[in-house]
Amino acid sequence: MTIGSGRATIAIGTGSPSAPQPKPARATAAPSPADLHAAMALAVDLRNALASVLLGSDDAVTAAVVAALSGSHLLIEDVPGVGKTVLARALATALGAGLARIQGHPDLLPSDVTGVSVFAQDTGSWEFRPGPVFAPVVLLDELNRTPPRTQSALLEAMEEGQVSVDGTSWPLPRPHLVVATQNPVGQLGTYPLVESQLDRFGLSTTIGYPDVEVEQRLVLHDGGRDALAALTPAGSPATWAAAIEATSAVTVTPAVAAYAVAVVRATRTAAAVRLGASPRAAIALIRCAQAHAVLDQRAYATPDDVQGVAVACLAHRLVVDGTATGRTVLDEVLAATPVPVL
C-alpha cells in the first residue's frame, strides 16, 4: 500500500501504528544450502521482474537486486522521468512488501518522514503516528531538495533502525530498504548531502535515458507502468529476510577480502581524491559482492563480483577534485589493483 506525500498522517498497512512493530522471526541456525538456493531463486526472479519493467537498464536492475539482497540502501542519481518510481514500485511488488513514497521538497519536515506525536483530544494523551519511513520499502524522491534537518532525521533512522520520538523508540521493519533519488548536482535550490551522509547508502546507480528501441517499446505500452501493473510478488518479507541472511553466509576467501580492502585503500591515496572510501565502505563492498555472487547463482564470491559492484558501491562515497568523477577514479583504481588469480 502506498501513501501520498508527507503532509497527511495516514497509517500504513503493516502492523498496528500505536504499538512498536514486532521484529520478524530470525533464524537462529546458520543458513543452510537450501536457504542459499532459495535466495538465488529469489534473486533471479527479482531481476527478471525488474528487467521486464525497466527495459534495458541492466546496471540499475543489478544494483537494485544487490541492494535488496545485501540489506543496503540504494541511491539513484538521475533526472526525473526515467523510471525511478517504477523501479522502486516494481521492487516492492516483487518482494511482496509495501512501498511508501516520500516526495522531497524544501518544506519537508522530519516529522513528515518519521512520524509525529499527535495529541488526541478524546484520550488526552499523545499518540505516535508512524511516518512513511516505517514501510518495508521507502522511496524518497529528490533527497537533495529536502532540508538538512529532514535529511539527518531520515539518515539517522536508516542508521539506527529505529525512530526515537518523545523518549520512545519505534523500531523500523526488518528488512528495510530505502531507495533515495537525487537530481544531478549543479541545480539551484538543492541541499547536497555531505560525505558522511552519502556513506549511509550502500549502493548508488543511475538509470539514464533509454535507447531508441526501448523508448519506442515504452511508448507502445511494453514495459514501464503497464508491466508494473502485471507484476506478481516473487517473495514475501520473510523470504526476503531469509535471503539476506543466506547472502551474508556466502563464502568469501581471504584473497577476495584482501582484494576488496586493497581497492578501498587505493581509493584513499588515489590522485584527485579529496576523501576516499571508509572502512564502512569496505564492509559494504564485501556484502554487495556476496549479493552479486548470489545473483550470479554462485555460493562463493570472486573478484569479478567485487569488480562488478565496486563502482556502484564506492563511487558515491568519494569526494574528488577537479574534473574527475568517482567513476573515473574507480576505473583507474580497479585497473591498477592486482587481482588475485590463484
Partner 1 sequence: MSRPGRRLPDGRRMHPHVHPQALFGPMVGSIAGLVAWAGISRSSGSGWVQTVGVLVAAVLATGLITPALVAARARVWCVASPADAVAGSPVTVVVTTTGPFRLRPLSPPGAPVTAAGPARGGRPVDLEVVPPLRGVIDELVVSVDSAAPFGLLWWGRHHRVPLARPLHVAPRASGDTEQDTRHDDRPGDVGRDVPAPSGTARSVRAYQPGDRPSTVHWPQSAHVGSLMVREAEHPTDEPVVVDVVLPDDLLAAERRAGEAMATLVALLHRGERVVLVTDEPEGRITAPVTDSVDAGRRLARAVAPPVGTPHRGGP
Partner 2 sequence: MNLWQRVVDANRPGPPEHSLRFRAATTAAVAVAVAACHAQGELSTPVAVGTLVATLAGNVLSYRTRQRPWPVVKPLLAVCVLGGFAWFLLTVNRTATPGDVASVEAPLATLFCWVLATHAFDVPSRRDVAYSLAGSAALVALAAAQSVDAGFALFVALWVLCVLVALVSMWQSMASVTGAPWGLLGGSVATTAAVALGLLVVLPAPQVATSLVFPSSSTGDAPVTSPSHLTDGNPTTPARSAAPSGRLGVGGYLGFARSLDTADRVALGNQVVLRVRASRPGYWVGQTYDTWSGRSWSETGGNGSRLRVLTGGSPYAIPVAGDAQAPLAANTTDVDTFYLAESGPNLVFHTENASRVYLDTPRLFLSADGTIVSSSSMAAGTVYTVVSEDNTATPAQLRSASPGGPEPVTSLTAAQEARYLQLPHPYRRVSALAHRIAGGRDRYDAVVSLERWMGTHIHYSTNIPPLPAGVDAVDSFLFRTRVGYCEQISTALTVMLRTLGIPAREAVGYVPGSYNPVTDLYDVRAKDAHAWVQVWFPGYGWQSFDPTARVPLANPSPGAVLATGLDHLAGRLPWVPIGGALVATGVVLAAVRLARRRPPTWAHRVVHDLERAGQRVLAPRATGETLVAYADRLAEALGPPGAGVPAAARSVERSVFGGETPRPAEVAAATAAARSARRVAARSARQGAARAARQAPAHGLSGGRAPGPRRRRPRRRPEDGTA
Q: Which residues are near partner 1 by CB under 8 A?
A: 106-107, 109, 111, 119, 147, 189, 192, 268-269, 271-275
Nearest Cα neighbor of 252 from 296, 214, 289, 215 is 289
Whether 44 and 285 have beta carbons less than 8 Å apart is answered as no
Q: How far is CA 161 from CA 6, 54, 174, 226, in A?
A: 20, 29, 8, 34
Instruction: Give the position of cell 534537518.
Output: 149
Stretch that binds partner 2, among 17-25, 158-166, 206-214, 220-228 (CB under 8 A): 206-214
| Cβ burial 153-176 (10 Å sphere, 16+ → b, else e) | bbbbbbeeeebebeeeebebbbbb
Q: How far is CA 182 from CA 61, 80, 104, 166, 193, in A?
A: 17, 9, 9, 31, 10
Q: Least distance (Å) from partner 1 to the CB of residue 185?
A: 11
The whole-angstrom separation of Cα 190 and Cα 98 is: 29
Q: Least distance (Å) from partner 2 to the CB of residue 128?
A: 37
Contact of residue 130 among partner 1, partner 2, none (CB under 5-8 Å per partner type) = none
DSSP state of 105: -
111 versus 162: smaller Cβ distance to partner 1: 111
Contact of residue 106 among partner 2, partner 1, none (CB under 5-8 Å per partner type) = partner 1
SS3 99: strand
Q: Least distance (Å) from partner 1 to the CB of residue 281?
A: 17
Q: Does 86 bind partner 2 (CB under 8 A)?
A: no
* Helix count and strand count (H, E) for the chain: 13, 11
Near partner 2 in 179-198, by CB under 8 A: 183-184, 186-187
Interface pick for partner 2 out of 34, 79, 220, 271 (rule CB under 8 A): 79
Q: How many CA atoms lie within 13 A of 158 on its CB side?
A: 26
Whether 39 and 247 have beta carbons less than 8 Å apart is answered as yes
Q: Which three cell numbers stand for residue 65?
A: 537486486
Q: Does 324 bind partner 2 (CB under 8 A)?
A: no
The whole-angstrom separation of Cα 242 and Cα 236 is: 10
271-310 footprint of partner 2 as x/- string (CB under 8 A): ---------------------------xxxxxxx--xx-x
Q: Least distance (Å) from partner 2 to the CB of residue 53?
A: 17
Q: Least distance (Å) from partner 2 to the CB of residue 39?
A: 16
Q: Which three cell numbers stand for residue 118?
A: 499527535
SS3 123: coil
Q: Least distance (Å) from partner 1 to the CB of residue 188?
A: 9
Q: What is the dihedral of CA 218, 222, 223, 228, to 10 degrees?
A: 130
Interface pick for partner 2 out of 4, 22, 33, 80 (rule CB under 8 A): 80
Q: Does 255 bind partner 2 (CB under 8 A)?
A: yes
DSSP state of 162: E
Q: Does 256 bind partner 2 (CB under 8 A)?
A: yes
126 versus 209: smaller Cβ distance to partner 2: 209
Interface pick for partner 2 out of 16, 32, 164, 251 (rule CB under 8 A): 251
The whole-angstrom separation of Cα 327 and Cα 220 is: 34
29 versus 335: smaller Cβ distance to partner 2: 335
Q: Does 338 bind partner 2 (CB under 8 A)?
A: yes
112 versus 245: smaller Cβ distance to partner 1: 112
Q: Least distance (Å) from partner 1 to the CB of residue 189?
A: 7
Contact of residue 161 among partner 2, partner 1, none (CB under 5-8 Å per partner type) = none
Residues that bind partner 2 (CB under 8 A): 57-59, 78-80, 82, 183-184, 186-187, 206-209, 251, 253, 255-256, 298-304, 307-308, 310, 331, 334-339, 341-342
